[in-house]
Amino acid sequence: MLVEVRFHGRGGQGVVTAADFLAVAGFKEGYYTLSFPTFGAEKRGTPVASFLRISDEQIVVRDEVYNPDYVVVLDPSVFEAVNVVAGLKNNGMVIANYPKGSEDLKRELKIENKVFTINATKFSMKILGRPITNTTMVGAFVGATDILKLKTLKDTVEELFEPPLAEKNKLLIEEAYKYMKEVCR
């Protein structure tokens, strides 16, 4: 099994952190993982992509993810600037922070792939008081895919964040995970 994920967002939103977070969690579950970013102008607010590979075998491919199994979008404004679905596999999935429903985004993207949306900005504002959506989208991604375990994500939060931020991020991950489980039924 080799799973390839491409994350899209804007600089300063935690796009790189989201991929790194999932790489750490995957490693904790015994997988081989690789995550790395690509930057354009390398400044806050510009489009950023980050890549994640999770595999049960050693990963030898080191280039960008051109044909992802999953695309995760942290900021809906990126749809105007980047073709986020470029190269998405025919059976691939889009998981996006988007204020409207999945069918609305599917029509906007003009694709037949599975699309699942969550208003991650709303979740993040409610719990963090800031529109930082990376951990929300980590929870949504795992809720939609079951690639990793919720418990592993929560354990990873404790390693990467100090209290009380760790508790808030665990809550965000859990709420997004549960939300996505309901949506994906």
Task: Pull the structure tokens for residue 114.
Answer: 């599975």
Compute the distance between CA of residue 17 and CA of residue 9 in angstroms, rounded to an integer.
11
- The CA distances from residue 84 to 29, 108, 135, in Å, are 28, 12, 20
Beta-sheet pairing, 47-55 with 2-10: antiparallel
Fold of the domain built from segment(s) 2-183: Pyruvate-ferredoxin Oxidoreductase; domain 3 (3.40.920)
Percent of the chain at pLDDT above 70?
A: 97
List the domain boundaries for the chain: 2-183
| pLDDT tens readout for residues 118-162 | 999 999 999 999 999 999 999 999 999 999 999 999 999 999 999
pLDDT at 43: 62
Rounded Cα distance, 39 and 10, in Å: 10
* 8 Å CB contact between 70 and 95: yes
- Give the predicted TM-score (pTM) of the model: 0.95
Edge-first strand order for the sheet with 32-39 is 32-39, 47-55, 2-10, 70-73, 93-97, 114-118
